[in-house]
Amino acid sequence: MKVKGNVFKYGDNVDTDVIIPARHLTSADPDHLKQHCMEDIDPGFVNRVSAGDIMVAGKNFGCGSSREHAPVAIKASGISLVIAADFARIFYRNSINTGLPIMECPEASGKIEAGDVIEADFETGIITNITKGEAYQAKAFPEFISRIIEAGGLVEYTKKELGL
Amino acid sequence: MGMTITQKILAAHTGLDSVAAGDLIEASLDVVLGNDVTLPPAVKVFGDVGTGKVFDKTKICLIQDHFTPNKDIKSAELARCMRCFAREQDISHYYELGRPEMGIEHVILPDNGIVFPGDLVIGADSHTCTYGAAGAFSTGVGSTDLACAMARGKTWFKVPEAIKVVLKGKKGKDITGKDIILHLIGMIGVDGALYKSLEFTGDGVKDLTMCDRLTICNMAIECGAKNGLFPVDEITYDYISRTNPERYQADDYTAFEADDDAEYSQTIEIDLSEVPFTVALPHLPSNTRDASSVKDMKIDQVVVGSCTNGRIDDIRKAAEVLKGRHVHPDVRCIIIPGSQKVYRTALDEGLLAIFDDAGCVISTPTCGPCLGGHMGVLAKGERCVSTTNRNFVGRMGDVGSEVILAGVPVACASAVLGRVGTPDELGEV
């Protein structure tokens, strides 16, 4: 599967409090969460984002709270993929579990700029920067993680393991 | 090859003789935790999994602490969702507000004797890593992991590498675990231990109280760590013999030790005698300074409490600093005992009267202001010295407000001085 979109670029250590502030956690409804996504560091984000757009950030993306509302808010906003140099571990798990596509790629994180148009191939991990005419290789998922993704997420994986 | 303590606990819960860093395993869980923010989404996912029943109702803890007593109708609905689920599943560790067992999740799980050395715990809260202080492996996850764990009693882990943190020497007067962990986060950064364990060792450990250790492990997540862990020693045995005498006497736990040839990706030494009163300035926990170097920073509010610093030792220390003194006219000082037991002990020991005399607000146990929920939210331009764990943009309120993280002695001295300050600046009472 491939996705293509305009890039929203952020720096290092984007924390879950700015992805979705705790004051909005009184509901876990994706339609509610998407209205407040990124509002504390990028107040215009929800008005500018279009379905399919791609978020690119530096290192330690999603650090802080364990709130699964963060990847849910990003996915609901229309973002089709988050690329970062690396992810905080709970955010990483939550993204896999809730079906927000993520890729770890320090090179892409360093070279892609805001407004670039990029295309990413989930099978090969190749990220193509159409604006700059460059390509970058994302890290492959460990085999076990691929099994969860292939099963359709953690819920389906768990059902399979429990024989349900 | 030798194993770290974390690796031994993970191996023991996987039925393997050994595991190595990088292995992906599925391990059995001793305790699974959710709170009023993270459980409601998990209830929906739990329904999707379709087991109908939780794997073991005695191993699940459901704690309402983030937005309680409920701050608005929506948060009341979250609480109601948890209450209904807890009743339907007959969950053993579910309590209503005000009960002696109740309080902030990471204060009560250790204090109520639910977590013991060698246990494997996951919680849908990032500060679940707190329990490494008692020799357990514990780490934070999200709501879907929580739901699947409640159904299956197992979850997957990547076995982490470890950083060995060697604590040497003896800390100075009024220096606390908070100063030590902020100092470490300042050294390695907010991603300095990403995906790794922090295993503490060294001759300095023996002088750290359980309260210090709980605070240190609580903030392991703030440098990206999967978990923090202290070795089990006399201080641990003294603690667990009081929190759960039955389990302690039954010897129903395992105190693992690291192998001599365990591998560490890095070794960090900290001389505790050189750790100063440490604060983290906005907007990262790694933005640390010697508190005495930022004394010109005026403040509007002080918060003492949270899963980081809401234990009885913290509240006693706050009372020691504030006794006979007055909160600065420009400052609101909010004291939040971390559990009902802590609150009651503070009441019985006369500590609440000391706070009231000093001009503090005394709150019921809640996470409240730590995450900008309620009970002390900041306006634009306001600055708070807080014993909590995060100072991200907008964490405690408006995006234009600021949080400075500190230990209890610095927070209380600052409340009196009206600016960032240290207890040694306070005159005789």
Q: Cβ separation of B191 and A93 shorter than 8 Å?
A: no
Domains of chain B (ranges; CATH) run: 5-270 (3.30.499.10), 278-421 (3.30.499.10)
Q: How far is CA B307 from the centre of its chain?
A: 4
Q: Give the residue ranges of chain B where pLDDT is below 50.
A: none
Closest CB to B38 among A26, A67, A161: A67
Closest CB to B372 among A21, A142, A145: A21
Q: What is the pLDDT of residue A146?
A: 87
The most distant pair of C-alpha atoms in chain B lies apart, rounded to whole Å, by 64
| Listed residue (B154, B126, B166) closest to B32, CA to CA | B154
The nearest CA of chain A is from the CA of B402 a distance in Å of: 13
What is the bridge-based pairing of β-strands B288-290 and B383-386? unpaired
Q: What is the pLDDT of residue A151?
A: 86
Residue B284 with chain A: CB contacts under 8 Å: 13
- The span from the CA of B231 to the CA of B214, in Å, is 12
Residue B51 with chain A: CB contacts under 8 Å: 162, 164
Cα→Cα distances B404→A63, B104, B149, B314, Å: 18, 21, 36, 18
Q: B269: which strand partners?
A: B166
Domain with A76 in it: what CATH number? 3.20.19.10
Residue B151 with chain A: CB contacts under 8 Å: 158, 162
User: Each residue of B325-337: b (16+ CB within 10 Å) or e?
Assistant: bebbeebbbbbbb
Q: What is the pLDDT of residue B429?
A: 87
Q: Cβ separation of B284 and A13 shorter than 8 Å?
A: yes
Q: What residue numbers bound the domain in which A23 lies?
A: 2-161
Closest CB to A26 among B67, B140, B152: B67
Half-sphere exposure of residue B278: CA atoms within 13 angstroms, side-chain side: 24
- The span from the CA of B381 to the CA of B397, in Å, is 10
- The span from the CA of B369 to the CA of B388, in Å, is 9
> Do the beta carbons of residue B132 and residue B163 sit within 8 Å?
no
- A8-37 pLDDT per residue, tens: 999 999 999 999 999 999 999 999 999 999
The nearest CA of chain A is from the CA of B347 a distance in Å of: 31
Closest CB to A17 among B125, B141, B395: B395
Exposed, middle or buried by CB within 10 Å (0-12, 13-18, 19+), for B191?
Answer: buried
Q: Cβ separation of B142 and A153 shorter than 8 Å?
A: no
The most distant pair of C-alpha atoms in chain A lies apart, rounded to whole Å, by 48
Q: Cβ separation of B152 and A158 shorter than 8 Å?
A: yes
Q: Give the residue ranges of chain A where pLDDT is below 50.
A: none
Residue B36 with chain A: CB contacts under 8 Å: none
Q: What is the pLDDT of residue A153?
A: 87
Interface probe, candidates B121, B125, B148, B307, chain A, greatest A C-beta count within 10 A: B148
Residue A142 with chain B: CB contacts under 8 Å: 24, 158
Q: Cβ separation of A162 and B49 shorter than 8 Å?
A: yes
The nearest CA of chain B is from the CA of A32 a distance in Å of: 12
Q: What is the pLDDT of residue B155?
A: 97
Interface probe, candidates A90, A146, A159, chain B, greatest B C-beta count within 10 A: A90
Q: What is the pTM of this model?
A: 0.97
Q: Is the peptide bond before B245 cis (omega within 30 degrees of 0)?
A: no
What is the number of structural domains in chain A?
1
The nearest CA of chain A is from the CA of B237 a distance in Å of: 31
Q: A56: which strand partners?
A: A9, A83
Q: Cβ separation of A17 and B394 shorter than 8 Å?
A: yes
The nearest CA of chain A is from the CA of B78 a distance in Å of: 7
User: Each residue of B231-257: b (16+ CB within 10 Å) or e?
Assistant: bbeebbeebbeebbeeebeeeebeebe
